[in-house]
Amino acid sequence: MSNRIGVGLAGFGTVGAGVYKNLARNADLLEQRTGAGFEVRRIAVRDPGKTRDVEAPSHLFTTDPSDLLADPGIHIVVELMGGVEGPFQFVCAALRAGKTVVTGNKALLAEKGREIFDLAREMRVPVFYEAAVAGGIPIIKVVREAFVGNRFEAIHGILNGTSNYILTRMADEGLDFAPVLAEAQKLGYAEADPALDINGWDAAHKAIILASLAYGFWVSPAEVLVEGIERVTAADMLFASELGYRIKLLASIKADPRGDVEVRVVPTLIPDSHVLASVNGVFNAVSVRGDVVGEALFYGRGAGQDPTSSSVLADLAEAAAFQQSPRRCVGFTAHSLYRRCKPAMETVSKYYLRLGVQDRPGVLAQIASTLARADIGILSVIQPEGIVDGSVPLVLTLHDAPFGRMRETVRELTGLECVHGNPLLLHMETFA
C-alpha cells in the first residue's frame, strides 16, 4: 500500500496551477515510482473567485495561508507565492510547524536563505528548492548531490530565458533592444513589467543560490556584480560577431586559489567556440566544472508552467522519501573551505569597450595613452566608417585588468573632449 501524502499549495499562479495539473495527470506514475500517493488538500490564493486556466474544486481554496499549517492532514507545503517578506514569514511558520517545505522562490532564497536554513536545521525539517533555479533543469540536485565529491572550479550559466531571447533576436536579426523587448512581451516571453529579467536580478538570484550551494556560505546580494542588457545595441552584436563572440547575460561563479569566490551576472562576450554561445532563444544552460568530473553542461527550458512544475514534482518525491525515512540533510550544508565573496572591484577580466569619438587624427593615440597610464593593454581595435550622432564608434578589446581600475579608467576616458556619449563596458569570458 502506498503512503498517502497531503500537500498544501501556497499560490495558484502559473507554476502552482501547473503543479496541480501535472500532479493529477501523473499521479499513478508518481505512486508507482515513489510509493507515495500525493493529494492536494488545500490551496491558498488571494482571490478564490478568479477565473483560472486550471480548475480545482472550490472547497480546496482558502485566502489564509496559515490554514495549510493548521491542517494535520498536510505534510508538505509548496510555497509558490512570489515576493520575499510574506513567503519568508510563511516558510518560517511552516518549519516551526514541522511541515516539509518545497519552494520555487529564487528571490526568497537569495535574500533570506541563511535564515531559512538556520531555522530548518534547528527544527530538523528539510527545504527543497529545485524549481528555484533554471526551471526544469535539475541543477540543484547536480550541485548538491551528483557532484558532491568535487571542488567546483567554475559555474557559468545562462539563467534567464527572457534576456536570452532578446539578445538572440538582436544578434540574429540586427535589431535593437526596444523593439525586441516589445516583441517578447507580445509573445508572452517577457512580463508587462520585465525589470527583473532585463536588469539582471532574476538571473542574479539564481546565481546566488548556486554559488552558496557550491561554496558552502550564503552570498549576500550586495556582494554580487549585476548589470542588465538594456544598453546593448545591435551594433554591439555585430562588433562582437566580427571579433568571434556572442553576447549573453552570463552568470559567472568561480573560486580563486586563495578561496575567494567571484559572483557576477553581466552581459558578457562568449567565444563562438564555447557551447554556451550557441544557447539561444528562451533556453537556459549551466556549465559546471569540477576538479574530478571536469566540465559538464545542462540545458533545457528555464521557465514556464510545465518545466518548472516538473522540478516541483521532483522535490515532492524527495520530500515524500524524507517523510518515510528522515535524514540529516535539510537542503544546505555550510562549510569553511572557502573564505569570502570577492569584492567586484577586485575581480579580473578581459573587456569589450565601445566609445563614441570625434573623427579626427590623434584620438586613438589619446585613448591608448590613457589606457597605458592605467596599465591596461589593448588586444584589438575596430573603427568602422560612418558618423552616428556626431561621433564615430571605436571598439576596443582589452587585456585582463581589475574591474575597479577598468571602471575608473572608463570614467577618465568619458571626460576626454574627444569622447562623446556614454561608453559601454562589457566583460569577456575566457573559460580558462
> Which one is catalytic: 99, 106, 112, 206?
206
Mean pLDDT within 285-290 = 97
| C-beta neighbour count of 359 within 10 angstroms | 14
Indicate where the chain has its CATH 3.30.70.260 domain(s): 344-428
Strands (E), 129-244: 152-158, 225-226
Mean pLDDT within 42-55 = 92
Joined grid coordinates for residue 253: 561563479
Round the average pLDDT of the chain to a whole number and report it. 94
pLDDT digits 0-9 by tens, 181-201: 999 999 888 888 899 999 999
Q: Is the dihedral of CA 191, 196, 199, 203 positive or negative?
A: negative
Q: Give the model's confidence band at 339: pLDDT under 50 very low, under 70 low, under 90 confident, else very high.
A: confident
Mean pLDDT within 43-60 = 92
Residue 425 phi/psi, 5-degree rounding, is: -115, 120
186 is catalytic: no
pLDDT digits 0-9 by tens, 291-303: 999 999 999 998 8
- Tell me the three state secondary structure of residue 190: coil
Mean pLDDT within 1-30 = 92
In the structure, how many helices (H) and strands (E) does the chain have? 14, 17
Mean pLDDT within 156-167 = 97
Indicate where the chain has its CATH 3.30.360.10 domain(s): 150-301
Distance CA 280, CA 332 (A): 31
What CATH number belongs to 3-135+305-324? 3.40.50.720
pLDDT digits 0-9 by tens, 222-257: 999 999 999 999 999 999 999 999 999 999 999 999
Cβ contact 15:305 at 8 Å:
yes
Mean pLDDT within 317-337 = 85
Indicate where the chain has its CATH 3.40.50.720 domain(s): 3-135+305-324
Q: 344-428: which CATH number, 3.40.50.2020, 3.30.390.10, 3.30.70.260, 3.40.50.720?
A: 3.30.70.260
What CATH number belongs to 150-301? 3.30.360.10
Q: Give the model's confidence band at 1: pLDDT under 50 very low, under 70 low, under 90 confident, else very high.
A: very low
